[in-house]
Amino acid sequence: MKFRFKILLSIGGVVLSLLVITFFIINYWTRSRIEDAFSEQLQNNRSTLNGIVGLEAEILSRGCQVIAESPRLRAVVELQDPKTAYQLSQELNQTTASDLLVLTDRRGKVLVQLVHGQRMEVDVAGRASVQQALRSGSNADVWSLGNGLFRVSSVPLLIDREVVGTLTLGFAITGEELARLKQWTNNSEIVLARGRTIVLSTINFSNHNGLRESLETSGMLVDPARLDSTTVFKLKTPDDVFLGTAFQLNKPLNAAGPINYLIIKSTERELSRSLNPILGTFGVISLIFLALTTLIGHAVSVGMTRPINALVQGTTEVSKGNYDYVIAVNGRDELSFLAQRFGDMSRSLKEKISELGRLNQDLVSRNRDLDETLQQLKEAQEELVTSERLAATGKLTAQLAHEINNPIHNIQSCLKTSLGRLPAETQGRELIEVAYEEITRMSKLTRQLLDFYRTSFVPEETAPVDLNSLVKEIVQSFGDELSKNRIDVKLHLAAGLPVVRGSMDKLKQVFLNLVLNARDAMPQGGLLRIGTIRENGFVKVSIGDSGVGIPRENLDRIFDAFFTTKSKVSGVGLGLSVSYGIISQHRGTIHVTSATGEGSTFVVSLPLQLPEERSTSV
């Protein structure tokens, strides 16, 4: 294998290995964070659901106790007349609108049993709740009758403190009830199971291949010891992974098995939504980095292999003591330059060492500045409680850009030094120039990612700002460009508008970004409306266009980092995210209203400068 191919393979292998390791680190870290968050949320949902079930059981028990106080009911039960008991049960069933009503005598024998208003012959005397009621105690339970599940409460019927029978009322657990529980648990999926059989669920199992089979065969539905309050289990299906928790509703007395509520959430969808933008950006940067590495390695290897034999011969003569020997290397590449400079290498060595020391000092200083900047970014992240997904995505991207920026800076410095040393007519110089331009463009891209934090969160000195003057300045600066794009501008500026306190440059950046976005939204021309007004202690600036508008499903995401609806993007989709951070730093707000085909209007609200602030600024 040729020497230059060995160089290319070595460089490519190292770079590819680093990229693969970085990919797996990002993937593992993101997955672990999301699974931890889901586990905590499921535990909270379990506590919520447990409290709701307990409250429903208490309400049902109290209602049942009130009915049990009826003298007529106690008298009918004491007579043990099934016909009279049936008539009274029909009246009670209509009054309470219950789905289950059971009356027993003092021995637990069923006098009347109504299920959905109809008689049903099922032996319920052995039920734990009925037996507890016969011992003068009230008890709530969940019964399985036929194909239905019922929340029940059993209370004793007392005459002179003597138990003459029991009353049991119950209500069927329906799909509507599970839907309400789903809303109360942050849209977690709810499954109601009896033993190994799933009775009700909010899940459309046709959309989740293998989920029903995994639940029914996992053992989670029949092993109460595995369903304590701290357990979060994981289920894997062919196309998804679910996290879940559960708790038992009854104490089974037979082989029918326990009745359980299961709360589960899908993790793969959230992982895909979080990882796709990160991995997409990482993939683009990786491809560019690999391409640049290949170009650089090729240029270096070609320049080294041509004069290699002559250089070996020359170094052999020098090693014999012939220091006057001139290495005959033709051409104007790196090795030719090396041969020409070989004679005064000793003389320049001291200068190079001194220069290296200065470069090291500069590098230490830059690293110190970078550490201070990262500390400021970290403090700013803690203040962004209103946009958790934006902060998490921005932080990960900034860290990734920082890690990539160091090797980019080193490559850029090496290329710049090489270009400074090579004569203009050196063969292969154009390849190094192309590589230098590409690495410079990549450096700007990583710098733009880091500027997302610096621009939005690093505080600057503030001063009184006249928004009317600022808007006029922006329109005047871009008037020709807007006219060239057939865009008419209408200004509605309030007279005597108070000043606000803020950073002139940052506010100008926000309004300029909104004007440019409006221009891009009207490729065929249109109307740009800009107005100012004072309202409720705020100065409001509205910027509206008659462009294509923003789809309804994108309105909640336009301020997210890296999100854009443009087909061609000059940056990485951070304009509105940066604007949102700047306005928040000024204690203001930014809102948008839009409809597809009707244009969009952005309204920026900034607080008025208080009197004490004016005196301080003066």
- The pLDDT score that the predictor gives to residue 349 is 41
Highest mean pLDDT among 99-108, 385-394, 519-528, 566-575: 519-528
Residue with the bigger pLDDT between 580 and 617: it is 580
- pLDDT given for residue 602 in this prediction: 93
Tens of pLDDT along 7-35?
777 777 787 888 888 888 887 887 788 77
At 611, the pLDDT band (50, 70, 90 cuts) reads low
Residue 610 clears pLDDT 60, i.e. is over it: no
Sign of the Cα pseudo-torsion (134, 135, 137, 142, in order): negative
Query: CA-to-CA distance for 233 and 226, rounded, in angstroms?
Result: 9
- Does the pLDDT value for residue 322 go beyond 90? no
pLDDT at 224 over 50: no
Handedness of CA 415, 418, 423, 427 (dihedral sign): negative
**DSSP characters over 164-233:** EEEEEEEEE--HHHHHHHHHHTTT-EEEEEETTEEEEESS-GGGSTTHHHHHHHSSTTT-GGG--TT--E
Token digits for 128? 């734990």
Higher pLDDT, 306 or 202: 202
- Domains and their CATH numbers in the chain: 3-38+272-457 (no CATH), 69-172 (3.30.450.20), 180-270 (3.30.450), 463-617 (3.30.565.10)
pLDDT (mean) for 282-305 = 76
**% of the chain at pLDDT higher than 90:** 5
The string of pLDDT tens digits covering residues 349-402 is: 445 556 777 888 888 888 888 888 887 677 455 445 445 655 555 566 666 766
Per-residue model confidence (pLDDT) at position 565: 64
Using one digit for the tens of pLDDT, what is the confidence trace for 546-565? 988 888 887 777 776 666 66
Could you tell me the pLDDT band of residue 176, with boundaries at 50, 70 and 90?
Answer: confident
Residues 288-306 have a mean pLDDT of 73
- Predicted confidence (pLDDT) per residue in 529-544, tens digit: 999 999 888 999 999 9
- Residue 426: pLDDT band by 50, 70, 90 thresholds? confident
Nearby residues of 504 by Cβ (< 8 Å), 6 or more positions away: 463, 465, 470
Q: Which residues contact 595 (CB under 8 A, 6 or more apart)?
A: 549, 552
Q: What is the pLDDT of residue 346?
A: 42
Return the minimum-mean-pLDDT range out of 44-53, 247-256, 364-373, 439-448.
247-256
Q: What is the pLDDT of residue 598?
A: 87
Per-residue confidence (pLDDT) for residue 334, from 0 to 100 = 65
What is the 3-state secondary structure of 80-147? CCHHHHHHHHHHHHHHHCCCEEEEEECCCCEEEEEECCEECCCCCCCCHHHHHHHCCCCEEEEEEECC
Would you state the pLDDT for residue 454? 55
Q: Higher model confidence: residue 191 or residue 380?
A: 191
Is the pTM higher than 0.75? The answer reads no
508 pLDDT band, cuts 50/70/90, is confident
Arithmetic mean of pLDDT over the chain: 77
Q: Give 126-156 pLDDT, tens digit per residue.
A: 788 888 888 878 888 888 887 788 888 888 8
Share of the chain above pLDDT 70, in %: 73
CA gap 38, 48 in Å, rounded: 15
More confident residue, 334 or 38: 38
CA 155 – CA 399 distance, rounded (Å): 64
- Count Cβ atoms within 10 A of the Cβ of residue 121 and give its class: 0-12 exposed, 13-18 middle, 19 or more buried: exposed
